[in-house]
Copies of this chain bind each other. A is one copy, B any other.
Amino acid sequence: MENSQLAKYAKALAHPTRIEILLFLASLESCFFGDIHNELPIAKATVSQHLKELKDAGLIQGEIETPKVRYCINRENWEEARRCFESLFSVIGEKRICCN
């Protein structure tokens, strides 16, 4: 398990707005920047920043459809993230003993 990779994914998920964005992206086929911005009560610059972080983490991708930008979840990396977390939870979930 790549600790730092997992930490990177966790960091991307460590903000309610970014989770909202991911859930919103998952609920639609069509997902332009403007649609995302409309869902959220924050400035577009901030939305753009959150999208950048999600993109940098690899969880989403965006492609230009001039003059709009279509965003969607990066399924491949999302799967990897899922496996990372699953691995963590299975490693830790299986052990017993200790104090509780």
**Size of A's binding interface in residues, CB under 8 A:** 46
Minimal beta-carbon separation of A35 from chain B (angstroms): 13
Minimal beta-carbon separation of A24 from chain B (angstroms): 10
Minimal beta-carbon separation of A81 from chain B (angstroms): 8
Docked CA distance A92–B41 (Å): 22
A60-76 vs B, Cβ < 8 Å mask (1 yes, 0 no): 01010000001011111
Docked CA distance A25–B92 (Å): 9
- Complex contact B16–A4 (CB within 8 A): yes
Known contacts A10-B13, A26-B95; is-contact A100 B19 (Cβ 8 Å): no
Known contacts A91-B23, A91-B26; is-contact A63 B99 (Cβ 8 Å): yes
Give 8 pairs: A residue, B residue, CB < 8 Å, sorted on A. A3-B20, A7-B16, A23-B88, A72-B100, A76-B100, A78-B89, A82-B93, A85-B85
